[in-house]
Amino acid sequence: MAFIETDPFGDDIELTDERWQHLTSRHPELAAHRDDLQATIREPNVVYRSRTDPMQ
């Protein structure tokens, strides 16, 4: 099931079923952690300023 979450910067992050399948085919240990991934996008514990992107 695809999802869209909003990150702390107000940007929408979309994870399609196709991308999820791609990720879990290479990293099967992630398969049980989809809800954790969504929660982390919404409310990360730490956010670091980008060294290369002046907007972040």
- Residue 40: predicted pLDDT: 95
Where exactly are the structural domains of the chain?
A: 19-43
Burial classification of residue 46, based on how many CB atoms lie within 10 Å of its CB (0-12 exposed, 13-18 middle, 19 or more buried): exposed
Rounded distance between C-alpha atoms, residue 54 and residue 32, angstroms: 35
Helix (H) / strand (E) element for 14: namely strand 12-15
What digits encode the pLDDT tens for the residues 1-56? Answer: 789 999 998 999 999 999 999 999 999 999 999 999 999 999 999 988 888 887 76
pLDDT value of residue 56 = 64
**What local confidence, expressed as pLDDT, does residue 55 receive?**
73
CA distances from 49 to 1, 6, 7, 8, 26 (A): 31, 18, 14, 12, 28
Q: What is the pTM of this model?
A: 0.74
